[in-house]
A and B are shown apart, each in its own frame.
Chain A
Amino acid sequence: MRFEGTLDIAAPRDRVWSFLTDPKQVTTCAPDVQSLDVTDPRHFKVVVRAGVGPIKGTFTMNVEFTELVDQGHATVVARGQAPGSAVELRSTMDLSALDGTRTTMKWASDVTVSGMIQQVGARLMQGAADKITQQVFSCIKAKLEAPVTA
Chain B
Amino acid sequence: MAVEIGGIGQSVKRKEDARFIRGKGKYVDDVKLPGMLYMDIARSPLAHARIRKIDTSKALAIPGVVAVITGKDLVPLNLHWMPTLMSDKQMVLPTDTVLYQAQEVAAVVATERYIAADGVDAIEVDYEPLPVVVDPIKALQPGATLVREDREQKDNHIWHWEVGDRAGTDRAFADADVVVKQDLYIPRIHVSSIETCGIVASFDKVEGKLTVWMTTQAPHAIRTVIALVAGHLGLAEHKIRVISPDIGGGFGGKVPVYPGYVLAIGASVLTGVPVKWIEDRAENIQADSFARDYHISAELASKKDGTMQALRVKTIADHGAFDAAANPSKYPAGLFHIITGSYPFEKSFVEVDGAYTNKPPGGIAYRCSFRVTEAAFTIERLVDVLALKLGRDPAELRMQNFIPPTAFPYTSSLGWEYDSGDYGRALRLAMDTIGYADLRKEQAEKRKRGELMGIGISSFTEIVGAGPSKNFDILGIKMFDSAEIRVHPTGKVMVRLGVKSQGQGHETTFGQIVAEELGIPVADIAVEEGDTDTAPYGLGTYASRSTPVAGGATAIAARKIREKAKLIAAHLLEANPDDIEWKDYKFQVKGVPSKSKTMQEVAFAAYTNHPQGMEAGLEAVDYYDPPNLTYPFGSYICVVDLDRGTGEVKIRRFVAVDDCGTIINPMIVEGQIHGGLTMGLAPALYEQINYDEQGNIQGGTFMDYLLPTAMETPNWETAKTTTPSPHHPIGAKGVGESATVGAPAAIANAVVDALAHLGVRHIDIPITPWKVQKILKENGVAE
Also in contact, A115 and B46, with CB within 8 A (given A81-B125, A83-B121): yes
B447 to chain A, nearest CB (A): 38
B297 within 8 Å of A (CB atoms): no
Also in contact, A119 and B121, with CB within 8 A (given A86-B46, A114-B47): no
Are B703 and A86 neighbours in the complex by a CB distance under 8 Å?
no
Are B45 and A84 neighbours in the complex by a CB distance under 8 Å?
yes
Of residues 98 to 121 in A, which have CB atoms within 8 Å of B's CB atoms?
112, 114-116, 118-120
Q: Name the B residues within 8 Å of A112 (CB-CB).
A: 694
Are B126 and A119 neighbours in the complex by a CB distance under 8 Å?
no
Bits for B685-717, please: 1 = Cβ < 8 Å to A, else 0.
000000000111110110110000000000000
> In the complex, A96→B696 CA distance in Å?
38
List the count of A-B residue pairs having beta carbons below 8 Å apart. Answer: 49
> In the complex, A60→B42 CA distance in Å?
17
Are A114 and B121 neighbours in the complex by a CB distance under 8 Å?
no
> In the complex, A88→B129 CA distance in Å?
10
Chain B: CB-nearest residue to A79 = B129
> In the complex, A85→B46 CA distance in Å?
8
Chain B: CB-nearest residue to A123 = B703
Of residues 56 to 113 in A, which have CB atoms within 8 Å of B's CB atoms?
60, 79, 81, 83-86, 88, 112
Are B120 and A83 neighbours in the complex by a CB distance under 8 Å?
yes
Are A84 and B43 neighbours in the complex by a CB distance under 8 Å?
yes
A121 to chain B, nearest CB (A): 10
Are A81 and B127 neighbours in the complex by a CB distance under 8 Å?
yes
Also in contact, A119 and B127, with CB within 8 A (given A83-B120, A84-B43, A85-B45): no
Q: Name the B residues within 8 Å of A119 (CB-CB).
A: 282, 286, 696-698, 700-701, 704
Partner of A114, one of B42, B46, B120, B703: B46
Q: Name the B residues within 8 Å of A84 (CB-CB).
A: 42-43, 45, 121
Are B700 and A83 neighbours in the complex by a CB distance under 8 Å?
no
Q: Name the A residues within 8 Å of B47 (CB-CB).
A: 114
> In the complex, A84→B44 CA distance in Å?
6
B101 within 8 Å of A (CB atoms): yes
A63 to chain B, nearest CB (A): 15
Are B124 and A60 neighbours in the complex by a CB distance under 8 Å?
yes
Q: Name the A residues within 8 Å of B694 (CB-CB).
A: 112, 114
Chain B: CB-nearest residue to A116 = B45
Are A114 and B696 neighbours in the complex by a CB distance under 8 Å?
yes
Q: Name the B residues within 8 Å of A86 (CB-CB).
A: 45-46, 127, 129
Q: Name the A residues within 8 Å of B282 (CB-CB).
A: 116, 119
B123 within 8 Å of A (CB atoms): yes
Chain A: CB-nearest residue to B59 = A83
> In the complex, A116→B121 CA distance in Å?
12
Are A115 and B45 neighbours in the complex by a CB distance under 8 Å?
yes
Q: Is the interface of A mostly helix, strand, loop or mixed?
A: strand
Q: Name the A residues within 8 Å of B126 (CB-CB).
A: 81
Q: Name the B residues within 8 Å of A79 (CB-CB).
A: 129
Partner of B701, one of A60, A81, A114, A120: A120
Chain A: CB-nearest residue to B692 = A118
Q: Name the B residues within 8 Å of A83 (CB-CB).
A: 42, 120-123
Q: Name the A residues within 8 Å of B42 (CB-CB).
A: 83-84
Are A120 and B129 neighbours in the complex by a CB distance under 8 Å?
no
Are A114 and B124 neighbours in the complex by a CB distance under 8 Å?
no
Chain B: CB-nearest residue to A60 = B124
Chain A: CB-nearest residue to B695 = A114
Q: Name the A residues within 8 Å of B286 (CB-CB).
A: 119
> In the complex, A112→B49 CA distance in Å?
15
Q: Name the B residues within 8 Å of A60 (CB-CB).
A: 124
Bits for B256-285, please: 1 = Cβ < 8 Å to A, else 0.
000000000000000000000000001000
Chain B: CB-nearest residue to A83 = B121
Of residues 5 to 54 in B, which have CB atoms within 8 Å of A's CB atoms?
42-47
B706 to chain A, nearest CB (A): 14
Also in contact, A120 and B703, with CB within 8 A (given A85-B45, A86-B45, A115-B46): yes
Q: Name the A residues within 8 Å of B700 (CB-CB).
A: 119-120
Q: Name the A residues within 8 Å of B120 (CB-CB).
A: 83
> In the complex, A84→B104 CA distance in Å?
11
A59 to chain B, nearest CB (A): 11
Chain B: CB-nearest residue to A58 = B121
Q: Name the B residues within 8 Å of A114 (CB-CB).
A: 45-47, 101, 694-696
B68 to chain A, nearest CB (A): 13
Bits for B87-102, please: 1 = Cβ < 8 Å to A, else 0.
0000000000000010
> In the complex, A142→B121 CA distance in Å?
35
Of residues 282 to 312 in B, which have CB atoms within 8 Å of A's CB atoms?
282, 286
Of residues 101 to 150 in A, which have CB atoms within 8 Å of B's CB atoms?
112, 114-116, 118-120
Q: Name the A residues within 8 Å of B696 (CB-CB).
A: 114-115, 118-119
- Beyond the given A114-B47, A116-B282, A119-B701, please list 7 additional residue pairs across the A-B interface where CB-CB is below 8 A: A79-B129, A81-B45, A81-B125, A84-B121, A86-B46, A115-B44, A116-B45
Write 21 A-B pairs (CB below 8 A) sorted by A numbering: A79-B129, A81-B45, A81-B124, A83-B42, A83-B120, A84-B43, A85-B45, A86-B127, A88-B129, A114-B45, A114-B46, A114-B695, A115-B46, A115-B101, A116-B282, A119-B286, A119-B696, A119-B697, A119-B700, A119-B701, A120-B701
Closest 10 CB pairs of A and B: A115-B45, A83-B121, A86-B45, A119-B700, A114-B45, A85-B45, A118-B696, A114-B46, A86-B46, A114-B696
